Amino acid sequence: MKGIPMQTGVLRVLRAIAASWWRHKELRRTGQSAQARQIERETVLRDLGYLRQAATLPNAHVICGDGGTFIHLGWTTVSTFAPIERFPLAALAVARGTPFIDIRSVTDVTAFANLPCVARDGSVDPDPCGPGRSVSLTTYIDLVEALGARIANDPRPRQST
């Protein structure tokens, strides 16, 4: 699904999310509808940018755990304390093909905390040990899957057994 142009349904969802924000509702209630519409447009454009990045960046992924849901976009992270079911932007990214790592079933928190980070720019650290180490997204998925995480939209090449 990556590379598919934004669909009307995506725009409808993003507009509905923006219009439902308490601040925008308050602006409308106080008669500042033009300002509310302008802020909503900016919000939708920002979120469209996030979705485009999620579809094109090599190590972009969505990860969901007990601490919330995060969309990792290289040097940018978009997050909320809510699960993915209550974070429509992350759900849209996953629906459009962004890899999704569900770590809610991981029980070994210490092992998870000691995993290396995903490389922000798509590069691979030649020495993936020590502080600040990073690995490719596919290597990270291998590591986290061994701890019990569930993966959707797996970017790893399929292996025949």
- In 67-109, the DSSP E strands lie at 68-73, 76-80, 100-102
Of 77, 63, 65, nearest to 120 (Cα)? 77
Give the burial class of 53: count Cβ atoms within 10 A of its Cβ; 0-12 exposed, 13-18 middle, 19 or more buried: middle
Q: Is pLDDT above 90 for 147?
A: yes
For 69, 93, 111, the CA distances from 78, given in Å and listed in that order, are 8, 12, 24
Residue 3 has pLDDT above 50, yes or no: no
Residue with tokens 């061994």: 146
pLDDT at 75 over 50: yes
Q: Of 30-34, 40-44, 71-75, 125-129, which range is least confident?
A: 125-129
- Residue 99 to residue 125: CA distance in whole angstroms: 21
Over residues 54-71, the mean pLDDT reads: 93
Q: State the chain's mean pLDDT as an integer.
A: 86
Tokens 């579809």, located at residue: 55
